Amino acid sequence: MKELTVSSDAPGKRLFVLGNEAIARGVIEAGVQVAAAYPGTPSSEVTETLAGVAKELDMYVEWSTNEKVAFEVALAASICGVRALASMKHVGVNVAHDPLMTAGYIGAKGGFVLLSADDPWAWSSQNEQDNRYIALQAYIPILEPSSVQEAKDMMADAFNLSEQFRHIFMFRSVTRIGHARGDITLGEISRERRKGHFVKNRSWLVYTPREARINKPLMLERFETIKKAVNTLTYNQLKLAGGAKLGIIASGLSYSYALEAVNWLGLEDKVSVLKIGTPHPLPEEMVLELLNSVKEVLVAEELDPFVELHVKAIAGGHNLPVKIHGKDLLPRIGELSTRKLTEAIAKLTKVKTPVDFTAIDKLEQETTPLLPWRPPALCPGCPHRASHYAIRVASRRVARELGKDIEPVYPGDIGCYNLAYNPPQEASDTTVCMGGSFGIANGMAHVIDAPIVAHLGDSTFFHSGIPPLVNAVYNKANITMMILDNSATAMTGFQPHPGTGYTAMGEEAVQLKPEDVARACGVKFVEVVDPFDLKKATETIEKAIRFEGPAVVVSRHLCAIIEQREKKKRKEAVVPYRVDPAKCNDKCNACIELLGCPALIKEGTKTVIDNSLCNGCGLCAQVCPHKAIVLE
Amino acid sequence: MVKEFNILINGVGGQGVILMSELLGRAAVADNLRVRGSEILGMAVRGGSVTSSIRLGDDVYGPLIPTGKCQAMVSMEPSEALRNISYLSESSLVLLNTAVTIPFTVSIGESSYPSLEAILEKLAKASEHIVQLDASQLAQEAGNLLTTNIVMLGALFSAGLPIKIATIKETIQAHFPAKVAPVNLKAFDLGYEACRQAVK
């Protein structure tokens, strides 16, 4: 029997999947022909899954250079009548914001869905922005699933809705949907494949002031139609309990927490529940029906009071004397949980919680001080560890000459190298957004006197590092721009990019070199080093910092994880290093304190190398002042 | 019919916590159970704390186990068990691999690691059923330290789960390449037996 996978044509069969695989399955069932994305947690697995089956299903899947391009690729396919998906993490939507604001005016011909993967509690992000506001601003309706199964079903249906209403839809996922796991029942796969066809239509597609004024009323009309239609969509469901005083309005994933909380409290027949699958626009008739039947309402939603504000507006507009709760009882920050809902509902219904949460909290508080701090660390053998070491040594040498109080500044960026904000590297002083390191360095150059060494990765460079590099040349910013090139989008799972020489679908591609781009942009100091040649790397970075004007150093070494995988494929042994106890001064600890490599540990007073972790990079052997670290 | 059975698995990135959840999930679906789950990871996988929820049954809706509602906790690392103490109740079963993984922050003096006694003393305040195993040692006996997670899976099944033992073994067999499947099945049996002895 052939193993069941996300691309299996096996309607009715059940499969255990990651939420993002379920979303990809929905895309497959819808017969989507174009999917474009830039990697970002928690969205990446959707496109990875699609890329893996693209050829067998006759789909086109690409990793675009950034989210704006991904969005435009999908928009173009839709305009040409082909079903298309653009996917990205929540902050990626900011990068795509420019075309997105006009996409609502354009609407859709081929079904067009934007997947926004939001990240409450910012598990792997720089903020926890609520992208429902972006959809609100752009007149884009939102579909928000409550479970892994619904994520699959809703995504498959989203393309039908988009074509039915000739409008773009946002599918809003969150970390606990995309990175949840669950069983799904597979549906039919659409085999329809359309030929893209572009019809010239100036009034629809060439946005000058005239077209903005022509198309905005048409967009508002489409939106009004959708606003009525959501009252009959099954993603919104109202369950009234006879005589209930309390109603719960729960949007997306919050619905699953609300159901569990109501059951845990034994209030199944005493509380009315409105499940919301379209937070924008809200099913107003259903909201009104609930508001008319209860005295109090609790709005359960993660992050901002988005549904709450709209429910309050509806209640106010109809002069309904209902008390509406939401962010007065539930947090604006982080994820919701069954517990948080249980406590809020218990408070409103004056029912005792089924568990003594206070006692649990007390025990947890007593326990916390005992816990070791276990932050994610750069991997053993990670080239960034070597790059950051070289950057620190070189920049401090120059800073010392400039004055006793001068500290070098290290604007950082989004990627694994951001972990260098932890000790002992402490070599990432700012992280704001993709490409922000070079941009921030540009500004600092005009206001401070310290050496400024900014760093970003190869994928981030192609994503949004080039405009600030050009800016540094044009506006004469005296900064050093490090491109830490490990030939991968490592943090999100090693996706290819324009510097890797192959595409999402595994085809060979032109391999762009950041150093060529930098030279072509007019940077006069461009050098390439291998960070594991520590001496040369340090000297080169020092020269770059001393160079008058913008300088670029590409620090190139393959990601340690990929390198290890390739060695394994070639059946090449990894040769670890070891500490020679005769030469090691146990009290020195330089290797541990300078590098913080997980493979360097203390066994009692002895410094040793854990040979199950060591990947033989040899960086510690280069920094040991006693030459006590040697090859096995 | 299973209404709700919550399993919390925790450990350190690289210990195979996610694989344990995947195997449990696949086996549960094969046994016609409903499954939900999710993981909590640090920003990167390697070296950080990992916690994974696997929830079985028809009354389960959310992906995460609620506070105080975990039936079985499988800890690949002692301090990680302690980190998740809020999920436990008096009736929870705790399966503890006693082999420690010291984070680099301890090596550089930025934090400290508690004694096993201190960990057990706190855990005992939350739950009355703690089973200690040297799973890493058993994995080496099975033939590969990397099977520590499968040893712990065996121990979990010895404690009793709504999933059939034959089903999880088939799932393990199907997941691993033919060359390493036997080592993993041996690891499963060693964990199963060790837990059975410990409970006796």
Question: Using one digit for the tens of pLDDT, what is the confidence trace for B76-108?
Answer: 999 999 999 999 999 999 999 999 998 888 888
Question: Using one digit for the tens of pLDDT, what is the confidence trace for A115-125?
Answer: 999 999 999 99
Cβ–Cβ contact B120 with A under 8 A: no
Provide the CATH number for the domain around residue A415: 3.40.50.970
* Predicted local confidence at residue A331, as pLDDT: 98
A360/B86 touch (CB, cutoff 8 Å), yes or no: yes
Question: Using one digit for the tens of pLDDT, what is the confidence trace for A262-304?
Answer: 999 999 999 999 999 999 999 999 999 999 999 999 999 999 9
Question: Using one digit for the tens of pLDDT, what is the confidence trace for A431-448?
Answer: 999 999 999 999 999 999
B112/A181 touch (CB, cutoff 8 Å), yes or no: no
Question: Using one digit for the tens of pLDDT, what is the confidence trace for A565-579?
Answer: 999 999 999 999 999
Question: Mutating which of B41, B50, B56, B67 best tests the A interface, going by the most A Cβ atoms within 10 A?
Answer: B67
Question: Which of A294-303, B47-56, B183-192 is the least confident region?
Answer: B47-56
**Main-chain phi, psi angles of B20, to 5 degrees:** -60, -45
Residue A32 sits in the same domain as residue A173: yes
Q: How confident is the model at residue B44 (pLDDT cuts 50, 70, 90)?
A: very low
Instruction: Assess if residue A173 is contained within a domain.
Output: yes
Q: What letter represents residue A85's amino acid?
A: L
Residue A128 sits in the same domain as residue A189: yes
A182/B126 touch (CB, cutoff 8 Å), yes or no: no
B43/A601 touch (CB, cutoff 8 Å), yes or no: no
* Predicted local confidence at residue B42, as pLDDT: 57
Radius of gyration of chain B, Cα coordinates, nearest whole angstrom? 16
B66: nearest CB among A16, A338, A596: A338
A337: nearest CB among B22, B66, B105: B66
B38/A180 touch (CB, cutoff 8 Å), yes or no: yes
A260/B35 touch (CB, cutoff 8 Å), yes or no: no
Instruction: Assess if residue A378 is contained within a domain.
Output: no
Separation between Cα atoms, residue A121 and residue A191, nearest integer Å: 39
B104/A263 touch (CB, cutoff 8 Å), yes or no: no
B38: nearest CB among A124, A181, A342: A181
Separation between Cα atoms, residue A79 and residue A194, nearest integer Å: 13
Question: Mutating which of A15, A176, A181, A559 best tests the B interface, going by the most B Cβ atoms within 10 A?
Answer: A181
A570-576: long-range contacts, CB 8 A cutoff, minimum separation 24:
A574/A614, A574/A615, A574/A616, A575/A616, A575/A631, A575/A632, A576/A609, A576/A611, A576/A614, A576/A615, A576/A616, A576/A632
Residue A225 has pLDDT above 70, yes or no: yes
Looking at A207, A231, A255, the residue that finishes a domain is A231
Looking at A214, A231, A248, the residue that finishes a domain is A231
Instruction: Assess if residue A5 is contained within a domain.
Output: no
Residue A163 sits in the same domain as residue A282: no
Residue A18 sits in the same domain as residue A122: yes
Cβ atoms of A491 and A448 within 8 Å: the answer is no
* Predicted local confidence at residue B107, as pLDDT: 80
Question: Using one digit for the tens of pLDDT, what is the confidence trace for A580-611?
Answer: 999 999 899 999 999 999 899 888 889 999 98
User: Looking at beta carbons, which residues of chain B come within 8 Å of A147?
Assistant: 36, 61
Segment A411-428 shows an average pLDDT of: 92
Residue A32 sits in the same domain as residue A131: yes
Q: Which tokens sit at A307?
A: 């549904």
A593/B108 touch (CB, cutoff 8 Å), yes or no: yes
Residue A530 sits in the same domain as residue A622: no
* Predicted local confidence at residue A186, as pLDDT: 98
B107/A16 touch (CB, cutoff 8 Å), yes or no: no
Q: How many folded domains does chain A comprise?
A: 4
B49/A534: higher pLDDT: A534
Instruction: Assess if residue A287 is contained within a domain.
Output: yes
Q: How confident is the model at residue B40 (pLDDT cuts 50, 70, 90)?
A: confident
Question: Using one digit for the tens of pLDDT, what is the confidence trace for B136-169?
Answer: 999 999 999 999 999 999 999 998 899 999 999 9
Domain that holds residue A259: 236-368
* Predicted local confidence at residue B46, as pLDDT: 65
B104/A181 touch (CB, cutoff 8 Å), yes or no: no
Segment B45-57 shows an average pLDDT of: 87
Residue A124 sits in the same domain as residue A197: yes
A372/B105 touch (CB, cutoff 8 Å), yes or no: yes
Residue A536 sits in the same domain as residue A421: yes
Residue B198 distance to chain A (closest CA, Å) = 26
A182/B106 touch (CB, cutoff 8 Å), yes or no: no
Residue A552 has pLDDT above 90, yes or no: yes
Residue A271 sits in the same domain as residue A337: yes
Residue B80 distance to chain A (closest CA, Å) = 8
Residue A520 sits in the same domain as residue A582: no
Cβ atoms of B48 and B13 within 8 Å: the answer is yes
Residue B7 distance to chain A (closest CA, Å) = 13
User: What's the start-to-end Cα distance of chain B, in Å?
Assistant: 28
What's the count of helices (H) and strands (E) in chain B, helices before strands? 8, 6
User: Looking at beta carbons, which residues of chain A come within 8 Å of B170?
Assistant: none
B83: nearest CB among A355, A357, A371: A371
Residue A405 sits in the same domain as residue A528: yes
Provide the CATH number for the domain around residue B147: 3.40.920.10
A263: nearest CB among B37, B59, B114: B59
Instruction: Assess if residue A373 is contained within a domain.
Output: no
Question: Using one digit for the tens of pLDDT, what is the confidence trace for A466-487?
Answer: 999 999 999 999 999 999 999 9
Residue A364 has pLDDT above 50, yes or no: yes
A376/B42 touch (CB, cutoff 8 Å), yes or no: yes
Question: Mutating which of B43, B49, B79, B123 best tests the A interface, going by the most A Cβ atoms within 10 A?
Answer: B43
User: Looking at beta carbons, which residues of chain B come within 8 Å of A262?
Assistant: none
Cβ atoms of A134 and A100 within 8 Å: the answer is yes
Q: What letter represents residue A263's amino acid?
A: N
Instruction: Assess if residue A318 is contained within a domain.
Output: yes
User: Looking at beta carbons, which residues of chain B come within 8 Å of A366?
Assistant: 122
Residue B79 distance to chain A (closest CA, Å) = 6
Residue A305 sits in the same domain as residue A179: no
For A452-504, give the DSSP string: BEEEEEHHHIIIIIHHHHHHHHHTT---EEEEEE-SSBTTTT-B--TTTSB-T
CB pairs under 8 A between A and B: 178
Provide the CATH number for the domain around residue A593: 3.30.70.20
B42/A374 touch (CB, cutoff 8 Å), yes or no: yes
B29: nearest CB among A14, A263, A367: A14
Residue where the block lists tokens 């040369």: A536
Domain that holds residue B68: 5-199
* Predicted local confidence at residue A505, as pLDDT: 97
A-proximal residues of B, 81-110, CB under 8 Å: 82-83, 85-86, 89, 102-108, 110
Residue A44 distance to chain B (closest CA, Å) = 14
Q: How many folded domains does chain B comprise?
A: 1
A-proximal residues of B, 29-48, CB under 8 Å: 29, 34-48
Instruction: Assess if residue A622 is contained within a domain.
Output: yes
Query: What letter does residue A146 receive in the DSSP assignment?
Result: S
Separation between Cα atoms, residue A532 and residue A262, nearest integer Å: 58
User: Looking at beta carbons, which residues of chain A come within 8 Å of B28?
Assistant: 16, 183
* Predicted local confidence at residue A2, as pLDDT: 66
Segment A411-419 shows an average pLDDT of: 94
* Predicted local confidence at residue A297, as pLDDT: 98
Average pLDDT, chain A: 96
Instruction: Assess if residue A165 is contained within a domain.
Output: yes
Average pLDDT, chain B: 94
B110/A366 touch (CB, cutoff 8 Å), yes or no: no
B25/A123 touch (CB, cutoff 8 Å), yes or no: no
Residue where the block lists tokens 């073994």: B169
CA nearest A257 in B: which residue? Answer: B62
Q: How confident is the model at residue B45 (pLDDT cuts 50, 70, 90)?
A: low
Looking at A541, A568, A595, the residue that finishes a domain is A568
Q: How confident is the model at residue A391 (pLDDT cuts 50, 70, 90)?
A: very high
Cβ–Cβ contact B67 with A under 8 A: yes
Residue B46 distance to chain A (closest CA, Å) = 6
Segment A15-39 shows an average pLDDT of: 98
pTM of the model: 0.97
